[in-house]
Structure 1
């Protein structure tokens, strides 16, 4: 089996590449990444065919996708705040990039396309937990670009018979996730600040909730989806129905790190969703064998990696 990962030098992609390389069913792992947010260090020690380039380059995709059985499309320009500052860049990378991938997959003979969407598409819809039948109410350009991407997947399945599977990721965290940049995710950013003895910035009152999902759990689901060739034109939440406030996250980090977390509250950010909590019934029905890594254990593994970064992501 030959599998291509777009964005495969990124945080999730690097972890997934190592997961797939350990499976005897996978004969070849190919990675395409423009390295705008990823790093080849995430592929260290891995026998993978790496191509540097953009998913907007159709000729490059044709070369990389040739003979592939499955494409796991993770290439994207992440971050809600980034999209608020530059909405066109998010649209080109996330919406147009997905369209380019789908066209190349179709030209390659109909390879399966598993793609990352986002819980941010639920946006302002107040219903909890978030189930896939809810009306999306995106609040940011990033969320709009991800909703467009998953809509394209559904359209290509219905119009061309392309086997697709869009996943809505919920606050994925874990080893390999960088901390030291303006758009860093909350878990690595907070661990980095606490271990450096600095106060932790909180956008808002801290009662906003997230459904944190460990990267190793995500990789297990993605690996099974590829090996079993699971197909669904409808999106699937990839989270396990946990609901943790940022104040609760701070308490968990205090327990893991053994040091107080000094929270400094500031104004909420434009485009941020207040609450995120997944209904996981569809996920459980498709992947009943996958058990998620609990939050405290995931935080412990993440903190250990940030203290002593390994040559490769440690998403197990």
Structure 2
């Protein structure tokens, strides 16, 4: 079960941790899921967003097939999900350890499935710059395998993780789905190719596809380790463990940080919509709020200082701007609001409060040592 630490100052240097349930789905989505039990395939299920998707679906008494090869996902994420389920819910869960780069594995996973939520990919702009071949193999070849398998299995809906990196060097703000620039990294190229392939499979084969351009999704279970860790978990861990927080550039780079519950909502809305004009297109998934890295650091330091007062004195170090990154990012979410009924439940501050609680629960012992 997901551990969430109460928002209170820590006593005697230790944080009291209490167990609560993860955020509930919006009422309308819950009612829709309750009307019938579908069979869902979630790829990348042991990863950050994938594990939240399978948790939401299993708690809604859906049948879930999960596919992952553990190249970037973790078994502990699956354990956290299944530990909080009833016996009946666990019985509706099937896990396949396999790789989307193998077409036979994709076909096996798609057999009898109603909806695919495709999250599996090699993420990270820096990783793609270091190893463009591996990124292409997973993100393009693997994606095409999944499309072919879904088409052959006559899947009713194929929802996939697209990326805000597709906007490339376009300076326009806010980002509107139909206005993109030149890609700035191999990763961005692969995610745009995904959109092109999905569009072709929709027009040529009748596969109903929906792409979700994620904007800096964050939350519990996001990995703080490694060279390609996202900024929020990496900074949270560094602050808790008395390590230096390093900011790329001058800190005025901005992002539209999106809490993971918002991404889960968008996936389910895209999967369940019955509007013909809402499929075979792409949507921005974000909170429509611009936050600079300096503002983010101040907010995270303030949240953590409520539990560990000494963190209030922490200072960041600045380093060179990272190649392949854009300067500013802010999403226009009008299309998702209008066609899908998307309504973010968490802004960046609300999301940070919940996400940081989880990181405290993971690193509290080390933080007080």
| TM-score by shorter chain over 0.5 | yes
- In structure 2, the partner of 1:273 is 326
Residue aligned with 1:50, SS: strand
What per-residue deviation string (whole Å, max 9, x for no partner) do you get for residues 69-106 of structure 1?
A: 00000000010000000001111111111111000001
Structure 2: gaps spanning 5 or more residues: 1-37, 306-310, 364-369
What per-residue deviation string (whole Å, max 9, x for no partner) do you get for residues 173-217 of structure 1?
A: 000101021110000001111111222111111111000000011
Partners of 1:19 and 1:53 in 2: how far apart?
A: 22
**Is 1:214–2:259 an aligned residue pair?**
yes
- In structure 2, the partner of 1:303 is 356
- In structure 2, the partner of 1:17 is 54
Residue aligned with 2:281, SS: coil
Structure 1: gaps spanning 5 or more residues: 311-316
Partners of 2:318 and 2:234 in 1: how far apart?
A: 15
Partners of 1:182 and 1:79 in 2: how far apart?
A: 10
State the Cα distance separating 1:226 from its structure 2 match.
Answer: 2.1
Match among 292, 303, 312 for residue 256 of structure 1: 303
- Count how many residue pairs are aligned between Structure 1 and Structure 2: 308
State the Cα distance separating 1:277 from its structure 2 match.
Answer: 0.5
Partners of 2:65 and 2:361 in 1: how far apart?
A: 28
- Tell me whether 86-95 or 42-51 shows the greater mean CA deviation: 42-51
Give the conservation status (yes or no) of the 8 Å contact 2:208–2:279: yes
Give runs of aligned pairs for residues 42-81 of structure 1, distance below 5 A.
Answer: 42-44=77-79, 45=82, 47=90, 48-81=93-126
Partners of 1:140 and 1:226 in 2: how far apart?
A: 29
State the Cα distance separating 1:221 from its structure 2 match.
Answer: 1.8
Give the conservation status (yes or no) of the 8 Å contact 1:210–1:245: yes
**Is 1:144–2:189 an aligned residue pair?**
yes
Give the conservation status (yes or no) of the 8 Å contact 1:256–1:296: no
- In structure 1, the partner of 2:202 is 157
State the Cα distance separating 1:227 from its structure 2 match.
Answer: 3.1
**Is 1:239–2:276 an aligned residue pair?**
no
TM norm structure 1: 0.94
**Is 1:127–2:172 an aligned residue pair?**
yes
The structure-2 alpha-carbon separation of the partners of 1:11 and 1:282, relative to structure 1 and needing over 3 Å to count, comes to same
Give the conservation status (yes or no) of the 8 Å contact 2:218–2:257: yes
Residue aligned with 1:308, SS: helix
Give the conservation status (yes or no) of the 8 Å contact 2:107–2:149: yes
- In structure 2, the partner of 1:285 is 338
Partners of 2:128 and 2:344 in 1: how far apart?
A: 33
Residue aligned with 1:51, SS: strand
Partners of 2:274 and 2:94 in 1: how far apart?
A: 22
Partners of 2:147 and 2:46 in 1: how far apart?
A: 20
State the Cα distance separating 1:136 from its structure 2 match.
Answer: 3.2
Partners of 1:58 and 1:186 in 2: how far apart?
A: 34
State the Cα distance separating 1:111 from its structure 2 match.
Answer: 3.4
Give runs of aligned pairs for residues 87-98 of structure 1, distance below 5 A.
Answer: 87-98=132-143
TM norm structure 2: 0.81
**Is 1:180–2:215 an aligned residue pair?**
no
Larger Rg belongs to: 2
Residue aligned with 1:155, SS: helix
Partners of 2:182 and 2:264 in 1: how far apart?
A: 28
Give the conservation status (yes or no) of the 8 Å contact 1:112–1:229: no
